[in-house]
Amino acid sequence: MKKILITGALGQIGSELTMKMREVYGNDHVIATDIRETESDVVQKGPFELLDVTDAESMFHLAKKHDVDTIIHLAALLSATAEAKPLLAWNLNMGGLVNALEVARELRCQFFTPSSIGAFGPTTPKDQTPQDTIQRPTTMYGVNKVSGELLCDYYYYKFGVDTRGLRFPGLISYVTPPGGGTTDYAVEIYYDAIKKGSYTSYIAQGTYMDMMYMPDALNAIIDLMEADPSKLKHRNSFNVTAMSIEPEDVAAAIREHIPSFKMDYAVDPVRQSIAESWPNSIDATAAKEEWGFKVEYDLAKMTIDMLAKLKQKKSLVG
């Protein structure tokens, strides 16, 4: 049975992945870590440790203390936040990654860290972006992600670390509020549909980006980590996606259930410029062929679930 250490466990992915992995591998086999502590289930219902990922020594001793054999490294600043604080983003995103890789190398751990469609740039082919293509991002977040993909490849080829990763699109979830990503409009719009019946989008009409519902993203991580390593040609940068959508698509899907829903626009130049540098749609063929990637949720099915879960959440806290 795996013994898993998760960094950034209170973030958007970590808060749900931790609980999912505890269900799959056993509560005591998944050690959550973050730089802060909350009253959430992640902290209260399983092993939890405070950890600053820029502190290499503490990370090593914590991993050794719990005798882990797998590291899921999620601690990072997201795209819009990283662009506002580029030096902090470099120090946290890359410094933390190097530290985590070093621990994986020294303790012979399997290793996962997510990449992103942010690893692409304005010169990348926009439609059905290939698995292997030009990557010249123009954001600090994108530079971090490309550097991370290459660094993980290096640790695999140089040191034999079993590194694996996914290029995630925008991730949509009802559990954790948006946290500074360019694609967060696709989360905020559902919250505001329930709370206010309207939404003002900071991303312009007609701006297509890839998205995925969080349950599919969690399954993709676990499926990749369980995949036969001999079949993986692209270890650290698999394209994955569930849908390519623009704001009006989401609004139309919501109106199927809330006909009075209204949306207008107040475009944020920074996040819009980031969005325009990313693909309209990406090709996930390599992930399907090499380890059987699949998704359950399209836009319509996701919308039904998001609205139902958020209505329930509102009734519980309202």
170-172/70-73 β-pairing: unpaired
Active-site residue, selected from the candidate residues 25, 141, 155, 156: 141
Domain boundaries, the chain: 4-169+212-239, 170-211+243-317
Residue-level pLDDT at 317 = 46
Q: Given a cut of 60, is residue 56 above it in pLDDT?
A: yes
Same fold, 4-169+212-239 and 170-211+243-317: yes
Tell me what the mean pLDDT of segment 163-168 comes to.
98
Looking at domain 170-211+243-317, its CATH class is alpha beta
Tell me what the mean pLDDT of segment 87-100 comes to.
96
Q: Which fold has domain 4-169+212-239?
A: Rossmann fold (3.40.50)
Q: How confident is the model at residue 315 (pLDDT cuts 50, 70, 90)?
A: low
pLDDT digits (tens, 9 = 90+) for 169-217: 999 999 877 766 788 899 999 999 999 999 999 999 999 999 999 999 9
Give 125-159 as a DSSP string: -SSSB-SS------SHHHHHHHHHHHHHHHHHHHH
Q: Given a cut of 80, is residue 316 above it in pLDDT?
A: no
Query: Is 141 considered catalytic here?
Result: yes
Tell me what the mean pLDDT of segment 217-232 comes to.
97
pLDDT digits (tens, 9 = 90+) for 130-147: 999 999 999 999 999 999
pLDDT digits (tens, 9 = 90+) for 19-39: 999 999 999 999 999 999 999
